[in-house]
A and B are shown apart, each in its own frame.
Chain A
Amino acid sequence: MKKEIPKTFGTSVFINCPFDEEYKLLLQPILFTLVYVGLCPRLASETSDSLEPRIEKILRLIQECKYSIHDLSRLKSQKANEFARLNMPFELGIDYGCRRIAKNHLGTKQSLIFEKKRYEIQKALSDLNGVDIKCHNNKPIHTIRALQQWLIETVGMNDVESPSLIWRKFNKFIEDFSGRRKAQGYSKADLRAMPVPQYIKFIKQWIASKR
Chain B
Amino acid sequence: MSVRYSVIAWFDGGWRVFRRGANRATSAHRTQSEAVEKARKLAKKDLTGGTVVIHRADGSVRRWIDYRKKSLPST
Tell which of A9-17, A90-98, A106-114, A170-178 binds the partner.
Answer: A170-178
CB of A18 closer than 8 Å to a CB of B: no
CB of A41 closer than 8 Å to a CB of B: no
Q: How far is the CB of A21 from chain B (nearest CB, A)?
A: 12
**Interface-centre pick from B4, B57, B59, B61 (highest chain A CB count, 10 A):** B59
Chain A residue contacts of B4, Cβ below 8 A:
175
Cα A59 to Cα B48 in complex, Å, equals 56
Q: Judging by beta carbons under 8 Å apart, are B6 and A141 in contact? A: no
Considering the complex, give the chain B residue whose CB is closest to the CB of A165.
Answer: B23
Cα A178 to Cα B55 in complex, Å, equals 12
Chain A residue contacts of B53, Cβ below 8 A:
175
Chain A residue contacts of B10, Cβ below 8 A:
141
Chain B interface, >50% SS class: strand
Chain A interface, >50% SS class: helix
Within the complex, which residue of B57, B61, B64 is in contact with A141, where a contact is CB–CB below 8 Å? B57
Considering the complex, give the chain B residue whose CB is closest to the CB of A145.
Answer: B11
Q: How far is the CB of A82 from chain B (nearest CB, A)?
A: 23
Q: Judging by beta carbons under 8 Å apart, are A174 and B60 in contact? A: yes
Chain B residue contacts of A89, Cβ below 8 A:
none
Whether A141 touches B9, Cβ cut-off 8 Å, given contacts A168-B18, A174-B55, A175-B53, is: yes
CB of A76 closer than 8 Å to a CB of B: no
- Residues of A in contact (CB 8 Å), total 19
CB of B36 closer than 8 Å to a CB of A: no
Cα A168 to Cα B20 in complex, Å, equals 10
**Interface-centre pick from A140, A175, A178 (highest chain B CB count, 10 A):** A175
Q: Judging by beta carbons under 8 Å apart, are A28 and B59 in contact? A: yes
Q: How far is the CB of B56 from chain A (nearest CB, A)?
A: 9
Q: Judging by beta carbons under 8 Å apart, are A139 and B57 in contact? A: yes
Chain B interface residues (CB < 8 Å from chain A): 4, 6, 8-11, 18, 20, 53, 55, 57-61, 64
Q: Would you list the 4 A-B pairs with minimal beta carbon distance, nearest first?
A: A25-B58, A171-B8, A140-B58, A178-B61
30 contacts between A and B (CB under 8 A): A25-B59, A139-B57, A139-B58, A140-B57, A140-B58, A141-B9, A141-B10, A141-B11, A141-B59, A145-B11, A163-B11, A164-B11, A167-B8, A167-B11, A167-B59, A168-B8, A168-B18, A170-B59, A171-B8, A171-B59, A172-B6, A172-B20, A174-B55, A174-B59, A174-B60, A175-B6, A175-B53, A175-B61, A178-B61, A179-B64
